[in-house]
Amino acid sequence: MKQAIKKSYAKKGEKVLNMNYQAVDKGIEGVVEIPVPEEWAECVSEPVREENLPDYVRNIMKPMNALKGDSLPVSTFIGYEDGTVPPGTSVYEKRGIAVELPEWNPETCVECNQCSYVCPHAAIRPFLLSEEEVADAPEKFVTIDAELSDLEYYSFRIQVSPLDCVGCGTCVNICPTKTKSIVMKPAETQQDQIENWEYAVNLSYKPKSTAVVTVRASQFSQPLLEFSGACAGCGETPYAKLLTQLFGDRMYIANATGCSSIWGGSSPTNPYTTNRKGQGPAWANSLFEDNAEFGFGMYTAVKHIREGIKEKLERLIDISDSELITAKAKDWIANMDNGSTSRYFSTSLLASLKRYHNAGREAKEIISYIMENKEYLVKKSHWILGGDGWAYDIGYGGLDHVLASGEDVNIFVFDTEVYSNTGGQASKSTPTGAVAQFAASGKRTKKKDLGMMAMSYGYVYVAQVGMGAKPSQLSKALIEAEAYHGPSLIIAYAPCINHGIDGGMMNSQNQIKRAVDHGYWHLYRYNPDLKNEGKNPFVLDSQPPKKPFREFIETETRYMALKRTFPDIAEELFEKLEKDAKERYETYKRLADGYNVPAKE
């Protein structure tokens, strides 16, 4: 070990070498022998008997997780030859890895739901209960009155899943109450919460809870991304989870290779799940470099099918002798591209077609076609997800092609400012002065402004967001982008373990807030629809920096490592980094004030 230390750290001097040598010596001195009972040598593992497991989980997932995948015969995979994996299989893992778990204090809770909003693993959630459900609840299932005006007849509870939580603590750090309504407690003190969780996830659905899309109300919608294998405190998964809560029941996802494809699709489990109606995201991963084209192909295929349905309905209107059928078909056509209303009109149309008994031969053929393709009646929400290594670098050509198409496709970038999943290499999103692989002495060039490049088209919806800094701005941007009938690009600041944040990843959401408060990251929305109303399409959601810029970079190892190793270079690059950030903010400020705004066409 000491030889390896010398090889790795000799250039740092004798002092550093000796400190590492002492650590090795202390480790050896601290070794204590623990006798192993002799009877352990005769132990026989009893097979775990689990009832009511889906075939996929019992026959494929469990053996693979037990490192016995190589022993599975080909015949085991019959039914999954196309590579599909059933949704919602991560719920069966129940890893139980947390040393500490969140404990909810109902006496101080303000029901803001921010703990659920930022949870990377969907392991802490708010629940609403009727009077009957409160009466039937387990003994320790404490509730309080729901405060939202449209929920006044319900009781409220924050519930944690002890076996799915990874103990990152982001929920504690985001809690706004002075006395903290969420606190971390030893895992062994929280085991009675397992029963409470099982009761909570089987409560009845409360339709009113999602009537208004706010940060608070959004969390009463079931997350359709849960219990992934992402790092504790991950900065990416909370964004994807929120997307599924807003649009997941009609969502298509094309996912670029990277962290989001690892926590999103690591064999043999699938963390994307379905609601009680069986509706959920359709997820697929293609190559690193062609994900935008891959997602665009998914969109084009669905668009073609839906246009075919429209043509069939237009013909049905011409030949139908039913005023009701004609009205329902016209309603669907008028709302086919409206995400918020197409499900209602699709359901209404299907119900009417099923009762249309006097249809002629041609009409019956049309109805049969529509029934065979009924899954396409509801407008799909098409999303292309990936990190900055894909969006700024390897896949940029395809991303630009899709943005230029003018089609109704949404792109979401998890901006970690580094190739997170492949060892921490610098990308074109890596800022000046940051240390990364291929930039060991600090990156010399400034960060690419992907948002400004996309805005130059004039017809692309663009937003920069930061969950921990301004949750309401994030929700608003996602809803505006999805409703916009054209391409959209959302760039989200996502803290990563590669950043080396002070205090660890439990501070990931607070780090986003620091980034905005110190002028390192800026929040804005560019909505081309506002031009049609004679308004400035650019809205700057960031306030002028409140705190010194340098204070932010001093909280991250990726910058401080440069200061320790190359102090002379560091000062020069940090000055350039701060200048770049200030210039960006000034540019955004001029846009927000109406500078260079194109005239209304």
The architecture of the domain spanning 417-592 is 3-Layer(aba) Sandwich (3.40)
Question: How do 410-415 and 381-387 pair as beta strands?
Answer: parallel
CB count within 10 Å of CB 523 equals 22
Over residues 456-473, the pLDDT tens digits come to: 999 999 999 999 999 999
| C-alpha 455, offset from chain centre | 24
Q: What is the pLDDT of residue 208?
A: 56
Tens-digit pLDDT profile for residues 375-393:
999 999 999 999 999 999 9
Least reliable range by pLDDT among 50-64, 93-107, 384-398, 498-512: 50-64
Structure tokens at 143: 């509730």
What's the pLDDT band for 597 if we cut at 50, 70, 90? low
Which residues fall within 8 angstroms of residue 552, CB to CB, at 6 or more apart?
Answer: 514, 515, 517, 518, 520
Fold of 90-221: Alpha-Beta Plaits (3.30.70)
- pLDDT digits 0-9 by tens, 143-182: 999 987 666 789 999 999 999 999 999 999 999 998 899 9
Q: Mean pLDDT, the chain, as a whole number?
A: 93
Measured between its terminal Cα atoms, the distance across the chain in Å is 70
Q: Cis peptide before 268, with omega less than 30 degrees from 0?
A: yes
Where exactly are the structural domains of the chain? 90-221, 309-376, 417-592
Determine the 3-state secondary structure of 225 from DSSP. strand
Asked if 193 and 162 count as a contact pair (C-beta separation under 8 A), the reply is: yes
Kindly give, in sequence order, each residue whose CB lies less than 8 Å from that of residue 331, ignoring residues fewer than 6 positions away.
345, 348, 349
Q: Which two tokens stand for residue 349?
A: 């149309």
- Does residue 579 surpass a pLDDT of 90? yes
User: CA 227, CA 216: separation in Å to the nearest integer?
Assistant: 21
Q: Distance between CA atoms of 82 and 89, rounded to whole angstroms? A: 17
Q: For residues 600 and 536, what is the distance between their CA atoms, to the nearest angstrom?
A: 10
pLDDT tops 60 at residue 284: yes
Statement: residue 406 has pLDDT above 70: yes
pLDDT (0 to 100) of residue 149: 63
Q: How far is Cα of residue 191 from the mean position of the Cα atoms in its chain?
A: 28
Contact partners, residue 447, CB within 8 Å, separation at least 6: 417, 428, 429, 430, 431, 432, 580
Dump pLDDT digits (tens) for 499-539: 999 999 999 999 999 999 999 999 999 999 999 999 999 99
Tell me how many degrees the CA angle 381-333-205 measures, rounded to the nearest 5. Answer: 50
Give mean pLDDT, residues 303-309.
97
Per-residue model confidence (pLDDT) at position 306: 97
Q: Is the pLDDT of residue 243 over 60?
A: yes
φ, ψ for residue 562 (rounded to 5)? -65, -40
Predicted TM-score (pTM) of the model is 0.91
The yes-or-no verdict on residue 411 having pLDDT over 90 is yes
Could you write out the DSSP letters of every residue in 457-471?
TSSSEEEEE-TTT-H
Tokens at 577, concatenated = 């980094």
Residues 6+ apart with CB under 8 A from 319: 360, 362, 363
pLDDT band at 212 (very low <50, low <70, confident <90, very high): low
Chain segment 105-122, per-residue pLDDT in tens = 999 999 999 999 999 999
Which range has the worst mean pLDDT, 58-72, 194-208, 375-389, 494-508? 194-208
509's CB contacts (< 8 A; 6+ apart) are 118, 170, 173, 174, 235, 238, 467, 468, 495
User: Tokens 């930022």 correspond to what residue?
Assistant: 118
Measured over the CA atoms of residue 233, residue 235, residue 238 and residue 244, the dihedral's sign is negative
